[in-house]
Amino acid sequence: MSEIANTIFSPELAARFDKLVTIYPLRRSALVPMLLYAQDEVGYVSDAVIAEIAERIGLLELDVRNVLSYYSMLRTKPAGKYNVQVCTNISCMLRGGYEILDHCKHKLGIGHKETTSDGVFSLEEVECIGACCWAPAIQINYDFHDDLTPEKVDVLFQMYRDGQGKDVK
């Protein structure tokens, strides 16, 4: 049974949160991981997510919103089923990162932080994702794709549409 009577989270996540707030010396240290887990389950950090996490940790909702606004990987609006993050930091930029970003924009018909009308893809320009040695790189949800060309991106998007995204190299 969860600490919160009317939780918005699944029983599994609620149980995970019950434990998470007990393992740090300060309860608020659990805030960022909780926001990330909640985002994974709900799709974004909604007002309801903010309210429940604040209650679980014993913070004001304003405290949660302040942290939320600092981290670009946390979002307050729904993303597409596949969130495409294109790195344009130095290694990727030198190896065509902006070309990849422009190609994604053109191919998907959306801009930075936008979602396709069918809800399948959303797009973000991001800072280094730690795949510099294989630039240019993108991340789709939690999967990395690197050494990209516009042609490879086309194949990749089609495979995600076909439900085979994780196997694309």
Question: Per the annotation, where are the binding residues for [2Fe-2S] cluster?
Answer: 87, 92, 128, 132
Q: Is 92 in the site for ligand FES (CB under 6 A)?
A: yes
- Which neighbouring-strand residues pair with 85? 124, 139
Task: Tell which positions 99-128 bind ligand FES, by CB under 6 A.
Answer: 128
Task: Give the span between the Cα atoms of 99 and 88, in whole angstroms.
Answer: 9
Indicate whether 135 belongs to the interface with ligand FES (CB under 6 A). yes
**CB-nearer residue toward ligand FES: 66 or 72:** 72
- Using CA atoms, how far apart are residues 75 and 79, in angstroms rounded to an integer? 8
Residue length of the chain: 169
Strand 121-126 relative to strand 114-115: parallel, antiparallel, unpaired?
antiparallel
Specify the amino acid at residue 53: I
Taking a C-beta distance cutoff of 8 angstroms, is the pair 80, 119 a contact? yes
Q: Which residues are annotated as a binding site?
A: 87, 92, 128, 132
Out of 2, 29, 46, 91, the residue judged to bind ligand FES by CB under 6 A: 91
Contacts to ligand FES from residues 45-74, by CB under 6 A? none
Is position 129 an interface residue for ligand FES (rule: CB under 6 A)?
yes
Nearer to ligand FES, 38 or 88 (CB): 88
Cα within 13 Å of Cα(110), Cβ side: 20
In the complex, least distance from residue 96 CB atom to ligand FES, rounded to whole angstroms:
11
Give the helix/strand (H/E) hosting 101. Answer: helix 97-108
Residues of span 141-160 touching ligand FES by CB under 6 A:
none
Binding site for ligand FES (CB under 6 A): 87, 89-92, 128-132, 135, 137
